[in-house]
Structures are given as structure tokens and as C-alpha cells.
Amino acid sequence: MLDFAARFAIEPFPDPRVGLIHTERTVLIDANGRIADFIDEAGWSAEDVMARLQAIDAAPSNPLARLDYELSKAAVAVCGNSVARFSGLADLVIVLLIFGGAGLLLYRVAGRIFREQS
């Protein structure tokens, strides 16, 4: 079992109290039996994974679900598993709103400063 898991870059270790302890990595395998992708977070949704698998097989899939999957995967890679189970699209919208609001505030403050100096 340990040799099989090592093929997928999963490194479990035995614990006499609970059995094997391992990461939450999920491996996506294409129709030819090759590894197509890894999911390192536990918070994936079935819809996101199905969209990714359909894209791997070149089957029609929901582009928003694929984008959500990729954004969620990137967020977990950057921020860690604490952001797992959140929607990548929702996170993107929130980040854009924060940057947009900060940009608007900076624009207004800069405009006021330059008007006072003129």
C-alpha cells in the first residue's frame, strides 16, 4: 500500500493507534489511466472536479466551474488549506472589490491633495 501511494506523491506513515496517516491529496486520472491532475486541498466540490475531468477528456464542460476549480486550487496553493471549501470565483470577486475600493479611495485622496496644492 505504501509503495502504491508513493506513486501518487502521497507519503502516508503508519500510526499504531489510527492506521495510516496521509495527506488529503486527490489524484485525477484520465481515460488512458495517466495522472492528469492533483488536488491538494480537501475542500473540492464534485462539480468542480467533474468540470476538470471533462476538460481533460475534451468533453463539453461548464467553463465557470473549471475557472472556479482552478481559482480554488490556486488559492489553496497560496494561502493553505484554511481557504479550502470556498468558491474560487467568490474569492476573486471579493479581492477585486477590495482592490477596486482601495483604488477608488486612493484616487479620491490623491485628487483632494492635488486640488489643495493648486
Nearest to 48 by CA among 86, 91, 81, 95: 86
Query: What mean pLDDT comes out for the span 36-58?
Result: 74
- Give the single-character DSSP code of 42: S
Averaged pLDDT for residues 93-110: 92
Q: Give the H or E element holding residue 68.
A: helix 63-79
The residue with cell 477608488 is 104
Residue 43, pLDDT score = 66
Residues in the chain: 118
| Residue 39 bridge partners (DSSP) | 26
User: pLDDT value at position 42?
Assistant: 67
The DSSP output letter for 81 is: G
Residue 54 C-alpha cell reads as 471533462
Percent of the chain whose pLDDT exceeds 70: 75
How far apart are the C-alpha atoms of 58 and 60, rounded to whole Å? 7
Q: Decide: helix, strand or coil at residue 27.
A: strand
Q: Looking at residues 70-78, what average pLDDT do you find?
A: 73
What integer pLDDT is reported at residue 106 of this predicted model?
95
Average pLDDT over residues 70-76: 74
